[in-house]
Structures are given as C-alpha cells and as structure tokens.
A = this chain, B = another copy of it.
Amino acid sequence: MRSSIRRSMPLFPIGTVMKLTDLSARQIRYYEEHQLIHPQRTEGNRRLFSLNDIDRLFEVKDLLDEGINMAGIKKLLLEEGKTVVHSDLKDEEGKGKKDFTDEEVRKLLRKELINAGRFQRPDSSFGEKFRNFH
C-alpha cells in the first residue's frame, strides 16, 4: 500500500525524534547499534528517521520500561516480521514457528514477572510533549 511508503520515508532529524520520544540521542543511537531501527542517512551522514522508526522506538522504550533487556527486545521485535506476535508468547502452540527455545521463553517471562510493576510511567500527555517542544 502507498501508506507504507510514506511510513518509511526518512523525514526527521534526531533532535525531533528525541523530543517526540523523550529518548536521549545516546539511547536512540544505541538502539540503532542493536539493529532495532535502521534510520536512513543524509548525504552528509546525518540520521533521518521515518515514522516506522519512531514507532519502533516507542516500542523499545515501553519494553525497557517493563524491565525487558535488549536481548529480549531484539527477540521480540525482530520476530514480528514473520509472525503476528503481538501480545502473547503463551498459547501459540501448534505451529512451533517461533525461534524461541522453551528455555528462552521461560527466562523472558521470569524476568518480566520479577520486574513487573516496577515502573508506572507518568504517562506524559501529548499536550505536555507539545509544550516542551521548541
């Protein structure tokens, strides 16, 4: 579809993305280093992020806030393309098409449980984001 073209259009410099996502440049570059996003570059080597990239950054942020580490996030997000693994790791038996071993799944779930409820994000509003935007 056409929208997918637009969603992957490289549009935003890192400064804009920082403000939109409330992530530091360091964090954003770190997630790129771990292949979670693939922003384009200008001719002069500056990153340009697409809406898909921003989307992905929000996902990474949320998962980190939930206490999941990079290894887990990579597993989760880099699987998404193949399966519609949106919400559940649990009852997707039948087709064993996930690359997780049982052990990995258990490990992830345990960490999730251990860290559950550690953070309750202050749920910043769009208005606030906009106001801090300059």
In chain A, residues 103-122, which have Cβ atoms closer than 8 Å to a Cβ of chain B?
103-106, 108-110, 113-114, 116-117
CB atoms of B12 and A130 under 8 A apart? no
Of B7, B42, B48, B106, the contact of A55 (CB 8 Å cutoff): B106
CB atoms of A130 and B5 under 8 A apart? yes
- A11 CB-CB contact with B under 8 Å: yes
Interface secondary structure of A, over-half rule: helix
Map CB proximity to B onto A89-115 as digits: 1 under 8 Å, 0 otherwise: 000000001111111111011100110
Say yes or no: A117-B3 contact (C-beta < 8 A), given A11-B12, A13-B13.
Answer: yes
CB atoms of B113 and A101 under 8 A apart? no
